[in-house]
Amino acid sequence: MAARNLEGQVVSVRGAVVDVRFAPGGLPPVDTAIEVLWDRPQPLVLEVHSHLDPQTVRAIALQTTSGLSRGVAARASGEPLTVPVGEAALGRLFDVMGHPGDGGPPLPEDTPRRPIHNPPPRLKDESATAGIFETGIKVIDLLSPLAQGGKAAMFGGAGVGKTVLVMELIHAMVEKYHGISVFAGVGERSREGHELWTEMRESGVLERTVLIYGQMNEPPGARWRTPLAALAVAEDFRDRKQQNVLLLMDNVFRFVQAGAEVSSLLGRLPSRVGYQPTLASEVGALQERIASAAGASVTAIQAVYVPADDFTDPAVTAISSHMDSIIMLSRQLAAEGFYPAVDPLGSSSALVDPVIVGEAHYRVAERAREALARFKDLQDIIALLGVEELGASDRLIVKRARRLQRFLSQPFAVTEAFTGKPGRSVALADTIRGCQAILDGEADEWAESSLYMVGTLDEARQKEADSRKAGS
């Protein structure tokens, strides 16, 4: 970098936007850090956003600027913001600047650090998707399989189960793949962050996980840069250690929202629905860095809040255009008690192709989708006239679709404390076999309740046998 240890002073403060003037002869580059030397115990860190003139930069504050006045000294090193990476970061919780926030011991002096701004891998260096990432969640593995080294997003409104799904996927990664997990909590409530950290520590998952938080009570600059800090940690494990990484982000919409706040503070004219005019490029810059390279993969699973359940929202469409797998969460299914509340018809995956998943998986997934789609088409008629008014073939489809719908629900390990039901992780082969048996009519005479909230079809069969024995 050209600029090194430049001295300046604050000339303007507008919330999270701070202007700093430097002496003639050089300005710190864009995306580098400035330290404000004020009278607080913690130094205030800014990030250069733009150059206003030959002596002044406009910067975004990563902590609250309450109490900051004009004339305060500032120092720029010309280096980007960095975060701790490598083995020393495992099991720890950091803020966007890499400060530990878990009350643990200080990091060793020789802990490596990596800039949060890095270019994406070159196209020729990227490696192709290695295969399917099995989650043990039936409805996802069957109808919207995730790619090892791919990008998946879970879209849903408030309270439909996005965070629970993310926590269950952390369990799946650690138990099945023994890999590294990096969790980015973007705009999380403080309570949610504390609950997740406690849950992970008690379940033994924390030792293989790095958590980075930019919480809801922090300035927009911190929330805006949290995903980039998490990506820097994931990229280090991928590039330096050649380890597979599961990158989880909850919630990517809050990243977009923080960018919109920053944009309005900078005085830009808003674009569609009030979003920042740079929405597409900001989302693209984040998503392009999520790639497999150097023989190791970064598998990204991102929770995305859907404002007012409007799936045509510009932020939602901008994010979905980068995804290999899209998992839609349905408020109606959640209200009916089907968990996970994944909409089987709204969800999709580029992997549902006989060349990738195999002929048997593809055929069962298509049959399941057809049955559930026909059931949805007939629901209005059933509500008005009753199922008895349908033709024999439609009655059979409805019977099997209802049983399939119940079979695709399952209890999670992370909800055991609330439901009292032990979690179930189901192998993909068992999911395909169970769904095929239901579609072939094996469960036509079973009670629907026997298929609700179970793991494999064998468990449902045992449940049906127990209920018949109890009835007799």
Query: What is the Cα Rg of the chain in Å?
Result: 25
Identify whether the C-beta of residue 206 lies closer than 8 Å to the C-beta of residue 200. yes
Residue 452 CA to residue 456 CA, distance in Å, equals: 11
Dihedral, 146, 240, 201, 96 alpha carbons, nearest 10: -90
Distance CA 389, CA 376 (A): 16
Q: How far is the CA of 127 from the CAs of 121, 261, 380, in angstroms?
A: 10, 36, 47
403 three-class SS? helix
Strands 73-76 and 33-36: antiparallel
For residues 7 and 75, the answer to whether their CB atoms sit within 8 Å is yes
Query: Coil, strand or helix: which one is 103?
Result: coil
Residues 134, 429: Cα–Cα separation, whole Å: 10
Q: What's the CA gap between 149 and 159, in Å, rounded?
A: 28
Interatomic CA distance for residues 179 and 164, integer angstroms: 20
Give the strand pairing for 348-349 and 298-305.
Answer: unpaired
Q: CA-CA distance, 138 to 64, in Å (whole number)?
A: 44
- The Cα–Cα gap between 403 and 371 comes to 11
CB 183 within 8 A of CB 212: yes
b/e map 405-425, b = 16+ CB within 10 Å: bbbbbbbbbbbeeeeeeebbb
Residues carrying an active site annotation: 162, 188-189
Report the SS3 class of residue 465: helix
> b/e for 265-297, b at 16 or more Cβ within 10 A?
beeeeeeeeebbebbeebbeebbebbbbbeebb
At position 469, the amino acid (one-letter code) is: K
Tokens describing residue 310? 């409007």
Residue pair 282/256 in contact by the 8 Å Cβ criterion: yes
- Nearest of 242, 261, 287, 293 to residue 60 by alpha carbon: 261
